[in-house]
């Protein structure tokens, strides 16, 4: 019984840790999304400026290429973070199922014991009632 409660505590602790990490990853993901939007806006502004200023066409093209590379890199970083979030969500779900299973296993013997005691008491009452 002591092992069951320590197992349940460790599962609860692990679940809490995974939930915290999941929250941190979601926050990081939101920050990366904002950063991508800022870069895309900057890219659009640079693109507009480069179309106005035809003399600096080469510089604008280089800047566009540079910004495009940054966007691709950050998009791939976001995908990595999203994959981490998905994996952590799966782990959380798995630990929640395990915790529910442990609760059922933990409670079942007590319920059976209580039911048996009731049956014995009823039997004794009806059979030995003088």
Rounded Cα–Cα distance for residues 111 and 103 (Å): 12
67 vs 113, which has greater pLDDT? 67
Average pLDDT of 102-122?
Answer: 70
19 vs 114, which has greater pLDDT? 19
Q: Name the DSSP class of 56.
A: G
Average pLDDT, the chain: 82
Residue 101: which domain range? 2-127
**Terminal alpha carbon distance of the chain:** 40
Question: What are the start-end ranges of the H helices in the chain?
Answer: 2-52, 57-127
Whole-model pTM over 0.75: no
Q: What is the pLDDT of residue 112?
A: 65
45-90 pLDDT per residue, tens:
887 776 665 556 677 778 888 999 999 999 999 999 999 999 999 9
Q: What is the CATH number of the domain that holds 84?
A: 1.10.287
Domains in the chain: how many in total? 1
CA 33 from centroid of its chain's CA atoms: 17
């Amino acid at each position: 019984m002591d092992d069951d409660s320590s197992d349940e505590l460790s599962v609860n602790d692990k679940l809490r840790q995974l939930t915290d990490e999941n929250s941190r990853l979601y926050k990081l993901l939101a920050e990366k999304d904002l950063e991508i939007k800022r870069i895309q806006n900057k890219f659009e502004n640079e693109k507009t400026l480069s179309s106005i200023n035809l003399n600096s066409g080469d510089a604008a093209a280089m800047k566009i290429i540079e910004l495009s590379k940054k966007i691709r890199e950050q998009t791939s970083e976001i995908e990595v973070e999203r994959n981490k979030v998905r994996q952590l969500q799966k782990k959380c779900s798995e630990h929640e199922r395990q915790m529910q299973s442990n609760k059922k296993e933990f409670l079942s013997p007590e319920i059976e014991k209580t039911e048996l005691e009731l049956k014995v008491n009823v039997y004794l009452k009806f059979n030995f009632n003088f």
